[in-house]
Structure 1
Amino acid sequence: MKNPNDEVKPPSKMKYVIIAIVVVIMVGAGVTLALYHPAKSKKVTFYTWWATEGKVAVDKEYAAFHAAYPNLTAVSELKAGAGGSAAKGEILTLIRDGDPPEAFQAHYGPGMLSYVEAASQHSKEFVNMTPILDSMTNVIPEVVEAGEYNGTSFSLPVDMHRGAELYINPNLLYNNSISQLPTNITELLSDSKTLNSALSSTGGGGWTIPGGDGGWDQMQVWEDFFLANSINTTGNATLYDELMYGTLNMHSSTAMKVINETNNDYLTAYGERMHGISTLTWTAVIHDITGSKSGFQANGNWYVNAYDYLNVTAYPMNSSTINTAYDHSHHINLIAMPFPGTKGYFALIDDSVAIPTGPNQATGLTFAKYFSSFAGDKVFTKWKASSYYDNITSPSFYNTPSQWGDYECAVNDSGNSSRWVYQLSDGGMFASQTSSFETDLESLTSASSVSTWNSHLGSVISSEESSWLAGHNLSLGFLGTVSHPFGGYLPPWVHDPVNPGATAAQNTISTVNANNQSTAASSTSSPSIAIIVVGLTSIFLANAVIKKR
């Protein structure tokens, strides 16, 4: 107990120092709080060609993204054109100029690799999506493989399209005494001849091949015949794979047999086309199909978006709808079927989101990750394409029966890699080669132009191989991984006996932007961090002074 008579000592100078330190630090914290302002809503600009058939779906995606991330808003920068025919060239130019879009739509297949090769620092200029894809569950593996370049990915998938499809109003067939949908090329060309005879006098035709998409529509017709003829001749799709990689040998009698058959079939279809649509796009002629004014149109399942703006529902070909009398009695006005001769094969097209590295990559990556997640995917693919998640259990997930039919085929084919090809016209060739293919094919209008076309085709194939070899030099020279190549096909340079140290199998590519996710997580500042730092600092200094005393 203290003695009342003891002298009361004044506070030491050290205590005043401690108080002063704490006051100064807390004032600093107050200034930090006063200066802090919550982050304003940030805008993510997405460069895309979804101006018509995909606009409804992507607008709904933007709304869902903003609801999930109120401080972020996604908007489109549009460059319209079928299959990205106009946008791809523009994106390549922006990348070469060092001013890429902060987020952009890209096809899987070699389409995405086009941008990587065009960038001055190649893979370093894109966010590496491989860790994100590796962490995904319940996804169809072939979709992921189509966007892997020797195991490395630079964009995230947002849908799963099926290409090599044929669209027709079955009532047109029924009214012309055709009882069943065609299942092979012989039946298809017989039916188109019948339709052409019935419709040509009124301006219609056995085929609907518009000319306003820069050759994209023509390329779909040619490539679908080529796939069907390849399967019919060889029993598999290897020739199609070789065309994608530029390894197709035009000195091979088998390859040339298939090419010549394809040219003949294409010219037959082209000669029976509806006239007066040379300047129209593919979306502008859908009403001619549904209105029974014209015959078959080769396309992919983005066609089902006619549901959005034409109020037309597409149905898949099955054991019931193959009969045109059934379709007629059930008022079905649009059938989506595998291109005759390709049943059992899935021609894949994937749209994806790529994010260049730079100051806006964190917000762009947040958008891409949400879009590709199951939450984002189910919003988008209800209206467009099909989902690449394999756990969908109900047809009601989609707007149209056709989407569900395509999805079932994909799930059933999953794991059977040899049944998958990547559609050439929509990412299955490098961007510049696709453009050349489309332009050259527009000149194939008669038998007299076949030799010129074959020469041009040979040049495109050679150029395609060169682009793949450039990817190989970056350790990105094929789709998928060595153990799981897309389509079950590995190009010959993967196991190059001349230079095994450079083979794609020995993937030495360094991880690009390994800290992308942590960068995105740390890009948002918070006043709570400053307060914690201030508090810890004050305690540390006070303890130090006391101990010194």
Structure 2
Amino acid sequence: MLIVIVAVVVVVVVVGGVVAYYVTRPTPTPTPKSILFYTWWATEGRVAGEHTWPLFSQYFHISVSPYVVPGAGGTAAKYAIIALIEAGKPPTAFQSHEGPEMVSYIEIAPQGANSFYNTTSYWMSLVTTGNVSIPVIEAGMYNGHMYLFPVNVHRGALLFFNPQVLREYNLPIPTTIEQLYYDAKVLYQHGICFMIPGADSGWDQFNLWENIFLALGGPKLYMEFLYGTLNLSDPQVQEIINETNTWFLKFQALDCPGWESLTWTQGLAWVIEGKAAFQTLGDWWVNYAYDFLNATTYPAIPPYTSWTNITVMTEPFPGTANVYALDVDAVAVPVSPEEKYGVLFAEWWSSWYWGSGIPGGDPSWTKWKSATFYTNITTDYYNTPEQWWSYQQLTNMSKNPSDWCNFVYQLSDGGVFDDVFAQVNQGLLTYAEVGSVGTSQWMSTLASALAEEKAEWLKANSLGLGYLGWPGHYLGCYVPPWVSNTNTSGS
């Protein structure tokens, strides 16, 4: 009888333990049918995605569902993403820029930096290989902490033009701001305008203003704007800002009819058609022209400058030839039940080679969009000559530490915090609309924006994220005053 009772007890204990295990064990996250990716790529990024994301689905049997919130430079999508993060309902992955933009998300996230997948060890291991651009990694790292997967590098601060128009009126390719204005003024008198669209919420105006400022002030003052440390009381700075404002209004006076209702994509068609003389943006312009207008962009270098059949050329904005303005697109992955799939997607996308015979997503993506940040690529696989030229310049400068001080991060594409971005965009759009009578208001807006930018960085510093780079490596060789720095050599 005792044996029977013991047997029953053993059975009960075993069964109870099995039941308890199944009740209490973690429920594995099922493989999602689709990855929700928030983005503002409605044009050239969408085309690159159509050539890249199906490959991810082919290799990993998970589809990608982009949720597009259109708006140049993320003028609308950034705030939709912030709202989702604040509500505790982030997407599986989302588009971001490098630069301080990502810190905007960290600062409002419920768990701060812990709300996002930390990519630091992954990228630092790649840095040791010598096969990635150091300045590109600096631009996405905050005091040695990284929460992004870069996927491509655009070059900002470029000038686009139709060389046939210049040739028709016997005008030189401009290499100074004064020469650019001379060309633009002559062409304007012949009914050919300077394209500065106004329907992108002030983003195009920000591009023009920052490019003039970079040409006049150089990379150090530009980086001071990025950190909000630009001293508007300094007479030399005042002089440069005043000159920047003057040139901004002079070019704005040569703008195209109906500019207020034009977007950057509509504007570039005017340049290709010869109706507009110039437009200044970054080389996302190149990809859109290729994808939608069947126009190939060439750099303004030999032998292309002697070719007579080219309709689109580009060069660094006059006065910025030795500076590389980075605009790095990237993917962030919030911590969530589907985090590992977001990481799989983003890491594959940013990889050149995945392994086991599977290529990474970066070769396909960057063929259609800007350039890769891997510096060991020797074959021109790009759609346009401009992309290969831009990549070669990025690689050559990245491999030469003495050039690292000539990298900046483009202000209008991630180089300022999101609230400052909106403030400057609106301020410059208003300035363009009202002209010189709005100078004092614009200067007030600028002062307010710089103060807010500095305050945001100080807040980031309190979180241990107070600068772009890692100890001994500072983007643009600029160390903000709140950072205790013991090694500024090299970068």
Structure 2 residue runs without a partner (length 5+): 23-27, 353-359
Give the structure 2 partner of residue 310 of structure 1.
Answer: 293
The residue correspondences of 1:406-421 to structure 2 (distance < 5 A) are 406-414=390-398, 415=401, 416-421=403-408
The residue correspondences of 1:107-126 to structure 2 (distance < 5 A) are 107-126=97-116
User: What letter is aligned with 2:323?
Assistant: Y
Give the structure 1 partner of residue 174 of structure 2.
Answer: 182
SS in 2 for 1:439: helix
Give the structure 1 partner of residue 477 of structure 2.
Answer: 488
User: What letter is aligned with 1:69?
Assistant: F
Quick one: which of 397, 401, 404 aligns to 2:388? 404
Does the Cα contact within 8 Å between 2:149 and 2:350 map onto a contact in 1?
A: yes
1:429 aligns with 2:416: yes
Give the structure 2 partner of residue 170 of structure 1.
Answer: 163
Does the Cα contact within 8 Å between 1:475 and 1:504 map onto a contact in 2?
A: no
Counterpart-to-counterpart distance in 2, 1:61 and 1:470:
37
Structure 1 segments of 4+ aligned residues over 2 angstroms from their partners:
37-42
1:259 aligns with 2:241: yes
Quick one: which of 195, 219, 238 aligns to 2:187? 195
Give the structure 1 partner of residue 377 of structure 2.
Answer: 392
Does the Cα contact within 8 Å between 1:494 and 1:504 map onto a contact in 2?
A: no
1:479 aligns with 2:471: no
Does the Cα contact within 8 Å between 1:182 and 1:191 map onto a contact in 2?
A: yes
Quick one: which of 311, 336, 359 aligns to 2:337? 359
Give the structure 2 partner of residue 347 of structure 1.
Answer: 325
Give the drift of 1:41.
5.8
More strand by share: 2
TM-score (structure 1 length as normaliser): 0.80
Counterpart-to-counterpart distance in 1, 2:125 and 2:42:
32
Give the structure 1 partner of residue 70 of structure 2.
Answer: 80
Counterpart-to-counterpart distance in 2, 1:102 and 1:256:
45
Number of residue-to-residue matches in the alignment: 454
Does the Cα contact within 8 Å between 1:472 and 1:504 map onto a contact in 2?
A: no
User: What letter is aligned with 1:356?
Assistant: P
User: What letter is aligned with 1:190?
Assistant: Y
User: What letter is aligned with 2:286?
Assistant: V
Does the Cα contact within 8 Å between 2:325 and 2:408 map onto a contact in 1?
A: yes
Does the Cα contact within 8 Å between 2:152 and 2:371 map onto a contact in 1?
A: yes
User: What letter is aligned with 1:66?
Assistant: S
Does the Cα contact within 8 Å between 2:35 and 2:342 map onto a contact in 1?
A: yes
Give the drift of 1:252.
0.3
| Cα deviation digits, residues 119-162 of structure 1 (max 9, x gap) | 12211101101111122241111111100000100111000110
Give the drift of 1:38.
13
Counterpart-to-counterpart distance in 2, 1:218 and 1:359:
41
TM-score (structure 2 length as normaliser): 0.89
Structure 1 residue runs without a partner (length 5+): 1-12, 232-236, 497-502, 506-549
> Which structure has the greater CA radius of gyration?
1
Counterpart-to-counterpart distance in 1, 2:384 and 2:67:
28
Give the structure 2 partner of residue 369 of structure 1.
Answer: 347
Counterpart-to-counterpart distance in 1, 2:363 and 2:117:
24
Give the structure 1 partner of residue 251 of structure 2.
Answer: 269
Counterpart-to-counterpart distance in 2, 1:462 and 1:439:
17
Give the drift of 1:75.
1.5
Quick one: which of 109, 115, 123 aligns to 1:133? 123
1:462 aligns with 2:481: no
